[in-house]
Structure 1
Amino acid sequence: MEKRYLLPALKVVWQKGKLWLFCTSFFTIISGIQPLLILWLTMELINEITRLISSADGNYRTAMALLLLQFLLVIFYSLAAKIDDYISKRFEVTLDHHLQKLILMKSSSLPYHFMEDPEIHNHLQRILGSSSSSFLAPIRNAMGIGRSILHSISYMGFLFSFHWSLVVVALLPTLTLFRLQVKLGAESFQVHYRLAPAARETRYISSLLTEKQSGKEIRLFGLTDVLLNRWSKQFLKSSKEVLTLLKKRSILEATMEALAALFYIFAALIMIWLAVSSKLKIGDFVSLSQAVQGVQVAIQQVSREVSRFFEQRLYLRDFYRFMELGEGKDKSKESIQEQPKQFIPPEGIVFANVSFSYPNSNKIALKQVSFHIHPLEKVAIVGENGSGKTTIVKCLLGLYQPDHGQIYYNGKDISVINHEELKKDFTVIFQDFMRYEFTLKDNIVFGDISEKDNAKRMEQSAKESGVDQFAGKLPDGYDTFLGKMLYDGEDLSGGQWQKIALARGLFRNGEVIILDEPTAALDPKTELEIFQNFDSLTKGKTTIYISHRMAAAKMADRIIVLKEGEIIEMGSHQELMDLGKEYFSMYQSQAQWFSEERKEVVTWMS
């Protein structure tokens, strides 16, 4: 194992579990000499009982003392094993909490584009779950190797005291298959590595078939059989690989046991020859038989532990490689160096020749995008789906680093601004907002958890977003749990959830408000209500409104029109209408979509 993975693991174990490390090391040592003590006591007891039966030379007190010692030894080792097991379980809980917390913290701190990489999710699949047991496995394997080596040395020493040939016969069958067992350990990890994507897919399909959110569409489109077949195919494919590996391991172990049985016959012949030539006692013969078998079992156990060590050590490598993700060269620093020194960015938000392509994609999402949003200005960024509107927001928030160009906020390149400080100034409401199945209050105050006890601010946000219109009708008001996943809470409509997302954004009270399709799930009347309150919602804020619909564009001071990642028009609503090009065409075509139900909106747009 590479030291850079083993040493940090040992350091974590030492910091978090000194008591466990001491207890398990002590138990390893004492259990290593247990077989020799049991073997010696058994031999002496049988010999003493034989003397008692065959002649008057035997001593009852000696026999009873040996029996008592044997009893006390069993009790001692049983008690030590229980204590070690309890301390191990307690330490596993502590370590599991620590490791999973590290994994979750690392996952949430990775650059956003990592979360769109399937291999990262496969990596997470491999290291999550039984983190502590996998993390401790190499250390336990190492101790198991040490314990089995002590066993084998003790047995071999006992055999050697009678005749050296017994040691040779006991060792030969196990050493020949040692290398194969180690190789199987590495192969076992590779199977686990390859099956991670299939495991993710089966779990995903399982969630689709069991969760409420997907249940309606699956039943409506009759997808159950299709999804079940895909789940079954991946499940059986994974099982086949696991069973193939198990078959190899079973054949190897059966071969080892057959060889051990064959060589035991040779050992038995040697012991018979020793009994005839040197008159072995019955107890000696029985103990020698047990010692030969003990050596074989101990060496087999060493090979198994080494195999598992090589298999489980790869978990540590996987764990620490995940912890090292994102620690490479920072592309944002290169971007800073590319910027001409004579350029002094103004206050507000500046995009300077920003280009961006999504990871693992050849399509350019943004092409040389440049614009300046002044403080307190209200800007609408419009365009068809896929034109690059949301990509601009993600780059502005630092979720993605531009391939070329720079983004400035109040005169500073955002790549050198502390992300936590940057995020405090931004209030963002995405179209694909989160629905937290906690209380209504939680859903609002999650916008700024440091102000969670500010009831006045929460109520004001609820009023401005329209949440107060239905909050009072809920069984427990703002303390009502929402959804059915965790508790028997209240189901809300899509429009109500979107109002809650708007309230959460307003509660954050950032200097810059970004509304990414905030009215997509609202009914026409509620959408009009939000539009009419737009000025009060964004008063004293720099506002960016992202939409593929034109209804809110005329509220903005300036409109940026995107098409296929490029800015093709920029100006006020009236300027762009007078221009009579892309914006004019989009506005006119969308106005015709509104039905009689939306005639108020049409009138207001006109």
Structure 2
Amino acid sequence: MFSRLRESFAHTPRTLRLVWRSSPRGSVALGLLTVAAALLPLAVAYAGKRIMDAVVEGSAAATLRWVLFELAAIGAQALAQRGLGLVRSLLGARLGLDINGMILEKALSLELRHFEDPEFYDQLSRARGEAATRPLSVVSETFQLLQNAITLAGYVVLLFHWSSLAVLLLLLAAVPATVAEVRYSSAAFRMRNVRSPEGRLLKYLEHVLANDGHAKEVKAFGIGRALLERFRSLGESFYEEDKKLSVRRAGWGYALSLLGTSAFYGCYAVMALAAAARRLSLGELVLYVVAFRQGQQAFQAILTALGGMYEDNLYMSNLFKYLDIPVEAPALLSAMPGSDKEGIVFEDVGFRYPGAEKWALRHVNLHIKSNESLALVGHNGAGKTTFIKLLSRLYEPTEGRILLDGRDLRSWEPEALRRRIGVVFQDFNQYQLKMRDNVGLGSVEHLRDEARMLRAVERGGAGELLAGLPRGLETQLGRAFRDGTQLSGGQWQKIALARAFMREEADILVLDEPTAALDAEAEHVVFERFRALSRDRTSILISHRFPTVRMADRIVVIEGGSLLEEGTHDMLVARGGRYAELFALQAKGYL
């Protein structure tokens, strides 16, 4: 029990600091109103005694005076409670916004490997689960603890005048119910943590069934009913687990609360008999009954607050564990020997994804000269996109190193490096935002530079698309929001290309299967334009279409994570190796 009480406060100091940073004024207001709400019930109880005594004495003036005093105290108590409700509401809204901002800011600081790890998503899900409510709950429980402790201290002083044994009974009778509450709070927390993966699956099934990106296939294959049944089955299992725990929690809570009720009425009977025997005045009877009842409730509230704080701290541990995920500062290597080669150099580079035994790339040695056009060819899973991730420094090599203009990539400031690279990935994003944002996000610092944006649109081949949009750059894209314009896959792809071309200063252009959704004519236009725009730049192209690949100055074939062949199109065809084999297979499709 005591170890769990210590756990109840484990994360409270850090949570209180977090709340203070979020709203100092709100925190002060909450503290002052809590003290007022703690003292006013004592004033009301004392006023009730004085009213009874004045009535017994037959003093009309004193009776009226104390009735007015009690009315003022009740009014102040109501005002304090209203104020507490208002402050908690505003503080909760402020805190929820700030904490979700912290969670997202932390996500921005994490590496790509975190987002490819299922355990990280479980951790993120647990952190976000009740991030908007639990911190405020910790603060509310802490102040409620303070409020009830002050109130209880006042009632204890009053009751000691009558019986110290009654005070002991008051305290002991509420303990069993609180112990049970702490136990079930712990069980509820463990249950929810354990089923985090299934909880994410439930949300994913809901997303698939109610998202426009999945609607076509769900309907075309008639899989909606099967997924809905899986959703319901998983949801029902969650419901049954929650119901069993809630029923046991409520049952034990009720049974053990009867101890406190029995203790109250036992003392009530003793006090009533004492008043009947004229050992207590009517005013004292009223005061002690109120003190005992309210004191018992205050102590029960203290123990309940401790149980609540224990549960809240368990959930706060999820948030703080997420926020404390170690982030390695990018290593800036200035003392390592460089290279006299300009351009990009892969020196015996190998990479293995976290937790994987198989190498995605191994013993890669390659020199891409400045302003050279390079094409990467290979089947899916050969390591082409991994090559681009390493070049973009989304991952660090497991072994070997990559140099840019003679310097190890790890010696470059990440932002400076990324400003030099314009990249379009195969799985590019379709932002449910305005056309202006979809293009401008390619270079955030130039988000308001409309001339640059229009140039990027033309270079990406989206000029005709822009001309047909109802509100031009201000057109909302996608169906997620009102008045949105839905686009085809090819149109989205042109916007992704335009986004990459926003980086006019980038001297390295990377296209990872960027035209998969375009028809042959549109693809030819894009690559002719890309070829012209990359004349004074280094360009790296991944494509399965050989008419496009043959435009490159040099072609590299990747097989099983290793560089198998390299040369021009004519050289590789004449060699009769893997490239020639793949070229011949694709050529057959056009015969």
> Could you state the TM-score of these two structures normalised by the residue count of structure 2?
0.93
Q: Counterpart of 1:585?
A: 581
Q: Counterpart of 1:22?
A: 28
Shift of 1:583: 0.5
Secondary structure (helix, strand or coil) at the match of 2:565 reads strand
**Is 554-563 or 436-445 further displaced after alignment?**
436-445
Q: How does 1:160-559 map to 2 (within 5 A)?
A: 160-275=160-275, 278-327=278-327, 344=339, 346-509=341-504, 510-559=506-555
Return 5+ residue gaps in structure 2 as ranges.
1-5
Q: Counterpart of 2:3?
A: none
Q: Counterpart of 2:82?
A: 82
Take 2:129 and 2:317, find their aligned partners in 1: how far apart are those partners?
16
Q: Counterpart of 1:604?
A: none
Shift of 1:357: 1.7
Assess, with a 3 A threshold, how the Cα gap between structure 1 residues 20 and 474 changes in structure 2: closer, same or farther: closer
Q: Counterpart of 1:99?
A: 99
Are the aligned partners of 1:208 and 1:214 in contact in 2 as well (CA < 8 Å)? yes
> Per-residue CA shift, 1:18-68, capped at 9, x if unaligned?
22222222222222223322222222223333x2xxxxx411111111110
Take 2:171 and 2:317, find their aligned partners in 1: how far apart are those partners?
33
> Per-residue CA shift, 1:500-545, capped at 9, x if unaligned?
2112111222110000001100112212223333421322110000
The letter for the 1-side match of 2:507 is E
Shift of 1:592: 1.4
Shift of 1:568: 0.9
Are the aligned partners of 1:181 and 1:304 in contact in 2 as well (CA < 8 Å)? yes
**Is 393-402 or 245-254 further displaced after alignment?**
245-254
Shift of 1:273: 4.6
Are the aligned partners of 2:10 and 2:313 in contact in 1 as well (CA < 8 Å)? no
Are the aligned partners of 2:435 and 2:474 in contact in 1 as well (CA < 8 Å)? yes
Assess, with a 3 A threshold, how the Cα gap between structure 1 residues 479 and 590 changes in structure 2: closer, same or farther: same
Shift of 1:464: 2.8
Are the aligned partners of 1:141 and 1:305 in contact in 2 as well (CA < 8 Å)? yes
Are the aligned partners of 1:47 and 1:283 in contact in 2 as well (CA < 8 Å)? yes
Q: How does 1:51-70 map to 2 (within 5 A)?
A: 51=56, 57-70=57-70
The letter for the 2-side match of 1:436 is Y
Assess, with a 3 A threshold, how the Cα gap between structure 1 residues 278 and 234 changes in structure 2: closer, same or farther: same
Take 1:245 and 1:386, find their aligned partners in 2: how far apart are those partners?
46
**Is 96-105 or 274-283 further displaced after alignment?**
274-283
Assess, with a 3 A threshold, how the Cα gap between structure 1 residues 453 and 24 changes in structure 2: closer, same or farther: closer
**Is 298-307 or 533-542 further displaced after alignment?**
533-542
Secondary structure (helix, strand or coil) at the match of 1:364 reads coil
Aligned residue pairs total: 584
Are the aligned partners of 1:382 and 1:549 in contact in 2 as well (CA < 8 Å)? no
Are the aligned partners of 1:170 and 1:267 in contact in 2 as well (CA < 8 Å)? no
Take 1:253 and 1:461, find their aligned partners in 2: how far apart are those partners?
66
The letter for the 2-side match of 1:574 is D
The letter for the 2-side match of 1:535 is R
Secondary structure (helix, strand or coil) at the match of 2:174 reads helix
Assess, with a 3 A threshold, how the Cα gap between structure 1 residues 190 and 263 changes in structure 2: closer, same or farther: same
Assess, with a 3 A threshold, how the Cα gap between structure 1 residues 484 and 22 changes in structure 2: closer, same or farther: same
Secondary structure (helix, strand or coil) at the match of 2:42 reads helix
Q: Counterpart of 2:41?
A: 35
Secondary structure (helix, strand or coil) at the match of 1:280 reads coil
Take 1:396 and 1:5, find their aligned partners in 2: how far apart are those partners?
41
Q: Counterpart of 1:10?
A: 16
**Is 516-525 or 401-410 further displaced after alignment?**
401-410
Shift of 1:5: 4.7
Take 1:553 and 1:196, find their aligned partners in 2: how far apart are those partners?
45
Secondary structure (helix, strand or coil) at the match of 1:438 reads coil
Take 2:470 and 2:462, find their aligned partners in 1: how far apart are those partners?
15
Are the aligned partners of 1:181 and 1:303 in contact in 2 as well (CA < 8 Å)? no
Q: Could you tell me which of 567, 570, 576 is aligned with 2:566?
A: 570
Take 2:440 and 2:328, find their aligned partners in 1: how far apart are those partners?
36
Are the aligned partners of 2:348 and 2:364 in contact in 1 as well (CA < 8 Å)? yes
Take 2:338 and 2:246, find their aligned partners in 1: how far apart are those partners?
65
Take 1:345 and 1:353, find their aligned partners in 2: how far apart are those partners?
17
Take 1:268 and 1:91, find their aligned partners in 2: how far apart are those partners?
40
Secondary structure (helix, strand or coil) at the match of 1:401 reads coil
RMSD (Å) for aligned C-alpha atoms: 2.4
Are the aligned partners of 2:349 and 2:401 in contact in 1 as well (CA < 8 Å)? yes
Are the aligned partners of 1:182 and 1:303 in contact in 2 as well (CA < 8 Å)? no
Assess, with a 3 A threshold, how the Cα gap between structure 1 residues 250 and 435 changes in structure 2: closer, same or farther: same
Shift of 1:177: 4.0
Take 2:468 and 2:22, find their aligned partners in 1: how far apart are those partners?
50
Are the aligned partners of 1:448 and 1:508 in contact in 2 as well (CA < 8 Å)? yes
Are the aligned partners of 2:343 and 2:405 in contact in 1 as well (CA < 8 Å)? yes
> Could you state the TM-score of these two structures normalised by the residue count of structure 1?
0.90
Are the aligned partners of 1:184 and 1:307 in contact in 2 as well (CA < 8 Å)? no
Assess, with a 3 A threshold, how the Cα gap between structure 1 residues 374 and 314 changes in structure 2: closer, same or farther: same
Q: Counterpart of 1:142?
A: 142
Shift of 1:459: 2.7
Assess, with a 3 A threshold, how the Cα gap between structure 1 residues 277 and 441 changes in structure 2: closer, same or farther: closer
Take 2:163 and 2:283, find their aligned partners in 1: how far apart are those partners?
16
- Report % sequence identity: 28
